[in-house]
Amino acid sequence: MTSLDKPAAAGPRTDRPRRRRVGTGARRGVPLPLLVPGLLGLAFLLVPLLALLVRAPWRGLPEQLTSPEVWQALQLSLITATAATAVSLVLGVPLAWLLARTEFPGRGLLRALVTLPLVLPPVVGGVALLLALGRNGIVGKWLDAWFGITLPFTTTGVIIAEAFVAMPFLVISVEGTLRAADPRYEEAATTLGASRFTAFRRVTLPLIAPGIAAGAVLAWARALGEFGATITFAGNFPGRTQTMPLAVYLALQNDPDAAIALSLVLLAVSIAVLAGLRDRWMTAS
Amino acid sequence: MTRSVRRTRTLQLAGAGAAALMALSACSSSSDSEKDSGATASSASPKLSGTVNVFAAASLQESFTTLGKKFESEHPGTKVTFNFGGSDTLAANITGGAPADVFAAASPKTMAIVTDKKDAVGTPATFVRNQLEIATVPGNPHKVDSLKDLTGSGLKVVLCDKTVPCGAAAQKALDASKLKLTPVSYEQDVKGALTKVELKEADAAVVYKTDVHAAGDKVEGVEFPESADAINDYPIALLKNAPNAEAAKAFIALVRSAEGQKVLSQAGFLKP
Amino acid sequence: MTNPHHPTDADPSPTDGTPNPAEGRRMPPRRTDGPDTPPAAADGAPTPLGPPAPDHETDTGGAGGNPNPAEGRPTAPHRPAGLDAHLVVDRGAFSLDIELTAAPGDVLALLGPNGAGKTTALRALAGLVPLTAGHLRLDGTPLERTPPESRPVGVVFQDYLLFPHLSALDNVAFGPRCHGASKSEARAQATEWLTRMGLADHTGAKPRRLSGGQAQRVALARALATSPRLLLLDEPLAALDARTRLEIRAQLRRHLNEFEAVAVLVTHDPLDAMVLADRLVVVEHGRIVQHGTPTDIARRPRTDYIAQLVGLNLYRGHAEGHTVRLDSGPSITTTEALSGPAFVAFPPSAVNLFRERPAGAGARNLWRCEVGGLETHGDQIRADLTGELPLAADLTTVAAAELDLRPGAPVWATVKATQTHAYPA
């Protein structure tokens, strides 16, 4: 993801006409106290990825990558991460709206609680999900008794675990955008005869679309890399619940080369998707 | 009543999950030396002092901590510090130059990483063995009695992944008895497998005896004869670059002594 | 801004006696007994000014007075048409309590300083702020409990709030769509409205590509497209630059004239209020302090705020015949003979300043003052005087130089009785 910023960073130097777009500050005007830590930060983020590339078993790579298990895991990862993002959108955008646009006692506390999965170690999140939605969980018990639904060890379970960890990113992002957006547009819409929901759908939603998109990408990326909650809640079974990060972790136990190869695949796919989305927005806006 | 008991347990489990995560980041546990409480050493061997650094497999945490305290009280002036973790990680640390005196691994394979690099002194000695056991939910409601019972349909079984020792061992036992078992999940480590049973998400798991032992009454252990085919040896070795070799030797001796073996067998380990 | 009521000293020397063209946004007072000067609009540009409905000069804005007979409007026979509101909004530190009535065709302006509660009143009318008490009836229908989307109310917001993601056409079509029109119907209506506003060429433009004046007209079209029975305009011209403002003000006046239901606009600009509205309601601290026709308000301010807005020195006192004795001591001789509590008003330009006490002096209105401060307003100098009678005086730059005016300088101030205006308080 970070590598995407590279061309932009190089822009001001080489491309005069584009300077206006990239930033107003001339290069020589960049203060050293910002430039040095900034570049250090960039290196800090990029060097580990670079190391992964350097140490990659390039010779054995084709063989590693053509194994059906890898494709199975990759496919499952993409499907579940996308589904988890969809779940996050459907539930998270309305939640963000409630947090940003309504007043009720304890809202501040609720906002903090919503962000809790961000700080919770994912493994603990997985345990918490088991306690809630597991076969003997406080909710899962009834799902099992009434509908015969058990979530652990299923692909649905993977999606739930990923959504649990990823949704806060979306909610935070969308809520931030909503707070920054002028609520009076909604008022203007209601004075024109729109119900509050119509106002949300036809005015607010289009206005905060960039924030939603950014939040969705964050959530998708987080879901794609999710490990702890997934393996704890949904277990690890090839083709059903074994996503790429799980495959990478287990490969790491006795075949680091395979782990590196798998990581590269995950990395390449995420970069491709994120770069694709980014370009699309940039042209759209 | 039942409810409150359950609640306490769930909290413990959540804590256990967090603790497991902490263990991943290799926390070292050390205990302050206790004052001589009478149980002093009988033999007046050379006066030992200083710190002994012991790198030991995570499954040894309880028993080694007990032994460490015992050692410190027998040899006033010494201090035992532990680094518990996954054996492969510890082996990598040692070959990477970590200052350790003793390495106690959970498998000969991981010990081999160290001996291959010639970082150990002499031949590692097997000091305990660990045997597989079936862990079922308390009361064993599904009447699991043998490894074969696990293959029955409708039973949710979790195994360790084949890439980790307990999974490899379980596979070995299954192969030996020509059984085919499709679990609901291949867990990343033995704790993961056990947690699933503790939370009653899985009906049974194949784990080590010591794990069943450590889980107390949260799971019920079922021994099975095929486990004899997949017994794990735990080797211990003095390391070549040991800063405190004398004390380290004494600690290894304590581990291998009758006294040490008693503590270890209480944790569920088998004698070598 | 200067405060016309500042104590000062004075010194004799003739000052410019001509009526003062109001500076900035000050409303030049219409002086019946002086030569009528062409009022200067904001930024010095001439505007057609004065009361828009000269024949209602005597109507002091009695609530419900309807200057324009409602033409052929479908109102139920027993229902009083128009607006009848008593708006009470209590927000702890701030409370609003005002009554507003208007007949169809009326344009009512709420005028007041920032924080007076004008916008709150407007939002209460729109339903965006709930009423704590009081009532709101429109054409006889109670609306207190009606949510904003169900009120027949159109709003032009201060910064228009055009939906940035929709074209001008879709912005205007939004209302009809919400009221159940089909997409094509709504668009047809919107096209018609935009054409009427002279924006036929801009239907496809996104709001950010519209100029301020165009955006204002789109906003008006959007509000009118729902056929509201009450049109609310919040500072409709505040976001425009001076030039556009002049043009749009005239256009808005025309559109408001055509609008057959009640229109209420909020402004802090007296010029906008006087040009656009038939009646003014001056709100201060959440209460109505004065209401009436623009002429009446301009001629007979009743609070310092209004006096300052319209550019008059205002004093309150007790009248006996031709003399009004002010509460603070000095008295002012007036042409009108009154008795009882009274106001006296005169423009700063009516004040003559002298460095020495003027000899003879038929001027009985003579006060010893001191220059508190000086400010330039175009080619005029505004002197704030303190002393016996705090007042604001306007004089030419030349006169100021001749008098050697500077802060602290003692001056004598005189005002001819003929240039004062007294009226009962």
Q: Do A130 and B184 touch (CB under 8 A)?
A: no
Q: Do A124 and B188 touch (CB under 8 A)?
A: no
Q: At residue C110, does pLDDT exceed 90?
A: yes
CB B234 within 8 A of CB B128: yes
C91 in a domain, yes or no? yes
Lowest mean pLDDT among A84-88, B2-6, C266-270, C301-305: B2-6
Q: At residue B94, does pLDDT exceed 50?
A: yes
Per DSSP, the three-state class of A86 is: helix
Which two tokens mark C79?
């229902």
CB C350 within 8 A of CB C416: yes
DSSP H helices in chain A: 5-14, 19-22, 32-54, 61-65, 68-101, 107-114, 116-119, 122-133, 140-142, 155-180, 184-191, 196-199, 205-207, 209-225, 228-234, 244-254, 256-284
**Chain A residues near residue C175 by CB distance under 8 angstroms:** 192-193
Q: Do C163 and A192 touch (CB under 8 A)?
A: no
Torsion of the alpha carbons at C124, C127, C128 and C134, rounded to the nearest 10: 40
Q: Residues 6 or more apart from C334 whose CB is under 8 A from it?
A: C319, C322, C323, C324, C344, C417, C420, C421, C422
For C237-259, how does the pLDDT look when each residue is reduced to its tens digit (9 = 90+)? 888 888 888 888 888 999 999 99
Per the structure, the complete domain to which residue C340 belongs is given by 313-424
Lowest mean pLDDT among A173-182, B107-116, C313-322, C358-367: C358-367
Chains that contact A by 3+ CB pairs under 8 Å?
A: B, C
Which two tokens mark A280?
């699309």
- Based on the domain organization, do C293 and C347 belong to the same domain? no
**What pLDDT does residue C78 have?**
54
Strand partners, B30: B81
SS3 of B212-244: the string is HHHCHHHCEEECCHHHHHCCEEEEEEEECCCCC
- Please give the span between the terminal C-alpha atoms of chain C, in angstroms, as a whole number: 26
Burial of C169 (0-12, 13-18, 19+ CB in 10 A): buried
List the one residue out of C260, C202, C257 whose CA is nearest residue C227. C260
CA B248 – CA C7 distance, rounded (Å): 98
Q: Do A253 and B163 touch (CB under 8 A)?
A: yes
Cα–Cα separations (whole angstroms), residue B90 to A124, B86, B113:
24, 6, 10
Between residues C152 and B44, which one has the greater pLDDT? C152
Please tell me the distance in Å from B200's CA to the nearest CA on chain A.
7
How many domains would you assign to chain C?
2
DSSP H helices in C265-303: 270-276, 294-299
Please check whether residue B44 touches A, CB under 8 A: no
List the one residue out of C171, C146, C167, C147 whose CA is nearest residue C157. C171
**Chain C residues near residue A192 by CB distance under 8 angstroms:** 149, 154, 174-175, 178, 222-223, 226
**Chain A residues near residue C143 by CB distance under 8 angstroms:** none
Cα–Cα separations (whole angstroms), residue A204 to A18, A87, A191, C220, C384:
32, 20, 15, 21, 51
Q: At residue B25, does pLDDT exceed 90?
A: no
- Based on the domain organization, do C274 and C347 belong to the same domain? no
CB C136 within 8 A of CB C143: yes
- Which residue on chain A is closest to B201 by alpha carbon? A135
**Chain C residues near residue A198 by CB distance under 8 angstroms:** 178
Last residue in a domain, options C299, C328, C346:
C299
B5, B185, B197, best to mutate vs chain A, most A CBs in 10 Å: B185
Domain B49-129+234-272 fold is: D-Maltodextrin-Binding Protein; domain 2 (3.40.190)
**Chain A residues near residue C161 by CB distance under 8 angstroms:** 182, 184-185, 187-188
Relative to beta strand C287-292, strand C107-111 is unpaired
**What pLDDT does residue A10 have?**
38
- Residue showing tokens 């049109």: C231
Q: At residue C390, does pLDDT exceed 60?
A: yes
In a 13 Å sphere around the CA of C130, the CA atoms on its Cβ side amount to: 4
**What pLDDT does residue C360 have?**
64
Q: Do B17 and A232 touch (CB under 8 A)?
A: yes
CB A184 within 8 A of CB A199: no
CA C235 – CA C266 distance, rounded (Å): 5
Q: Residues 6 or more apart from A187 whose CB is under 8 A from it?
A: C126, C128, C148, C161
CA B248 – CA C133 distance, rounded (Å): 86
Domain ranges of chain B: 49-129+234-272, 132-229
The alpha carbon of residue B208 and the mean position of all alpha carbons in its chain are separated, in whole angstroms, by 8
Read off the pLDDT band of B128 (50, 70, 90).
very high
C102 in a domain, yes or no? yes
Please tell me the distance in Å from B68's CA to the nearest CA on chain A.
29
Rounded average pLDDT over B161-178: 86
Q: At residue C16, does pLDDT exceed 60?
A: no
**Chain B residues near residue A136 by CB distance under 8 angstroms:** 199-201
Q: Do A189 and C165 touch (CB under 8 A)?
A: no
Q: Do A228 and B196 touch (CB under 8 A)?
A: no
Percentages of chain C per state (helix, strand, coil), in multiples of 5: 25, 30, 45
The alpha carbon of residue A49 and the mean position of all alpha carbons in its chain are separated, in whole angstroms, by 19
Q: At residue B195, does pLDDT exceed 50?
A: yes
**What pLDDT does residue C359 have?**
74
Q: Residues 6 or more apart from B67 whose CB is under 8 A from it?
A: B251, B254, B255, B260, B263
Q: At residue C23, does pLDDT exceed 80?
A: no
Dihedral sign for Cα atoms in the order C398, C403, C409, C414: negative
Q: At residue B31, does pLDDT exceed 90?
A: no
Relative to beta strand C279-284, strand C107-111 is parallel
**Chain A residues near residue C147 by CB distance under 8 angstroms:** 190
Please tell me the distance in Å from B221's CA to the nearest CA on chain A.
20
**What pLDDT does residue C138 have?**
93
Dihedral sign for Cα atoms in the order A137, A138, A139, A145: positive
CB B33 within 8 A of CB B68: no
Q: Do C178 and A182 touch (CB under 8 A)?
A: no
Domain ranges of chain A: 62-284
**What pLDDT does residue B20 have?**
42
Q: Do A191 and C174 touch (CB under 8 A)?
A: no
Sheet of C313-326, strands arranged across:
C313-326, C331-346, C421-424
Cα–Cα separations (whole angstroms), residue C162 to C214, C266, C267:
11, 19, 20
For C151-162, how does the pLDDT look when each residue is reduced to its tens digit (9 = 90+)? 999 999 988 999
Residues in chain A whose Cβ is within 8 Å of chain C: 182, 184-185, 187-196, 198, 202-203, 206-207
Q: At residue B196, does pLDDT exceed 80?
A: yes
- Based on the domain organization, do C93 and C147 belong to the same domain? yes
**What pLDDT does residue C108 have?**
93
- Based on the domain organization, do C280 and C362 belong to the same domain? no
CB C219 within 8 A of CB C234: no
Between residues B12 and B226, which one has the greater pLDDT? B226
CB A266 within 8 A of CB A77: yes
Per DSSP, the three-state class of A67 is: coil
Calculate what percentage of chain C has a pLDDT beyond 70. 80
Last residue in a domain, options C299, C329, C360:
C299
**What pLDDT does residue C1 have?**
41
Q: At residue C45, does pLDDT exceed 60?
A: no
Q: Do C174 and A202 touch (CB under 8 A)?
A: yes
- Which residue on chain A is closest to C232 by alpha carbon? A191
C307 in a domain, yes or no? no
C129, C157, C161, C166, best to mutate vs chain A, most A CBs in 10 Å: C161
Q: Do A194 and C149 touch (CB under 8 A)?
A: yes
Between residues B216 and A17, which one has the greater pLDDT? B216
Last residue in a domain, options C299, C332, C355:
C299
- Which residue on chain C is closest to A183 by alpha carbon? C161
CATH superfamily of B132-229: Periplasmic binding protein-like II (3.40.190.10)
pTM of the shown model: 0.71
Q: Do C163 and A185 touch (CB under 8 A)?
A: yes
- Which residue on chain A is closest to C180 by alpha carbon? A193
List the one residue out of A144, A140, A169, A148 whose CA is nearest residue A81. A169
Kindly report each contact of residues C38-47 with a partner whose C-beta sits within 8 Å and lies 24 or more positions away, as own/partner. Answer: C41/C246, C41/C271, C42/C242, C42/C245, C42/C246, C42/C269, C42/C271, C43/C242, C44/C378, C45/C242, C45/C243, C45/C246, C47/C246, C47/C249, C47/C271, C47/C275
Domain A62-284 sits in CATH at 1.10.3720.10
Lowest mean pLDDT among A158-162, C5-9, C386-390: C5-9
Q: Do C175 and A193 touch (CB under 8 A)?
A: yes
One-letter amino acid for residue B262 of the chain? K
Q: Do A153 and B192 touch (CB under 8 A)?
A: no
- Based on the domain organization, do C414 and C365 belong to the same domain? yes
C179 in a domain, yes or no? no
Phi, psi of C31 (to 5 degrees): -115, 115
> To the nearest whole number, what is the mean pLDDT of chain C?
80
Give the DSSP per-residue string, B22-63: HHHT--EEE-PPPPP-S---SS--SPP-EEEEEEEEGGGHHH
One-letter amino acid for residue C419 of the chain? Q
- Based on the domain organization, do C405 and C332 belong to the same domain? yes
Of A130, A253, A255, the CB nearest to B201: A130
**What pLDDT does residue A281 have?**
58
* CA gyration radius, chain B: 20
Phi, psi of C85 (to 5 degrees): -135, 140
Residue C114, domain CATH: 3.40.50.300
Lowest mean pLDDT among B5-14, C203-212, C379-388: B5-14
Q: Do A184 and C155 touch (CB under 8 A)?
A: no
**What pLDDT does residue A275 have?**
82
Q: Do B201 and A124 touch (CB under 8 A)?
A: no
**Apex A36 CA angle, A34 and A37, nearest 5:** 70
CB C15 within 8 A of CB C380: no
**Chain A residues near residue B184 by CB distance under 8 angstroms:** 152-153, 235, 237
Read off the pLDDT band of C186 (50, 70, 90).
very high
CA A167 – CA A159 distance, rounded (Å): 11
CB C124 within 8 A of CB C296: no
- Which residue on chain A is closest to B22 by alpha carbon? A121
Rounded average pLDDT over C291-303: 89
**Chain C residues near residue A285 by CB distance under 8 angstroms:** none
Q: At residue B215, does pLDDT exceed 50?
A: yes
- Based on the domain organization, do C325 and C295 belong to the same domain? no
**Chain C residues near residue A182 by CB distance under 8 angstroms:** 161
Dihedral sign for Cα atoms in the order A191, A197, A200, A203: negative
- Which residue on chain A is closest to C149 by alpha carbon? A193
Of A127, A235, A249, the CB nearest to B17: A127
Q: Do A194 and C163 touch (CB under 8 A)?
A: no
Q: Do B199 and A127 touch (CB under 8 A)?
A: yes
Please tell me the distance in Å from A105's CA to the nearest CA on chain B.
28
**Chain A residues near residue C165 by CB distance under 8 angstroms:** 206-207
Q: Do A193 and C155 touch (CB under 8 A)?
A: no
Between residues A280 and B32, which one has the greater pLDDT? A280
**What pLDDT does residue A243 have?**
93
* CA gyration radius, chain A: 22
**Chain A residues near residue C155 by CB distance under 8 angstroms:** 188, 191
CA C78 – CA C152 distance, rounded (Å): 19
CA B154 – CA B36 distance, rounded (Å): 56
Cα–Cα separations (whole angstroms), residue C383 to A256, B17, B220, C241:
87, 80, 98, 29
Per DSSP, the three-state class of A239 is: coil
One-letter amino acid for residue B58 of the chain? A
Of C163, C164, C226, the CB nearest to A193: C226
Sheet of C279-284, strands arranged across:
C153-156, C230-234, C262-267, C107-111, C279-284, C287-292
Q: At residue C72, does pLDDT exceed 50?
A: no
C190 in a domain, yes or no? no
Residues in chain C whose Cβ is within 8 Å of chain A: 126-128, 147-151, 153-155, 157, 161, 163-165, 174-175, 178-179, 222-223, 226
**What pLDDT does residue B45 have?**
55
List the one residue out of B48, B90, B98, B38 whose CA is nearest residue B235. B90
Q: Do A188 and C157 touch (CB under 8 A)?
A: yes
Read off the pLDDT band of C5 (50, 70, 90).
very low
For A203, other C-beta atoms within 10 Å of its C-beta total 25
Strand partners, B128: B234
Rounded average pLDDT over B78-89: 87
**What pLDDT does residue A12 have?**
40
One-letter amino acid for residue C318 of the chain? H
Between residues C138 and C44, which one has the greater pLDDT? C138
Q: Going residue by residue through chain A, which has 285 residues, state the pLDDT in tens, using 9 for 90 and above.
A: 434 443 433 334 444 444 444 444 455 678 888 999 999 999 999 998 888 888 888 887 787 777 888 889 999 999 999 999 999 999 999 999 999 988 888 888 998 899 888 888 998 999 999 999 998 889 998 998 899 888 999 999 999 999 999 999 999 999 999 998 888 999 999 999 999 899 999 999 999 998 899 899 889 999 999 999 999 999 999 989 999 999 888 887 767 778 888 888 888 888 888 887 776 654 444
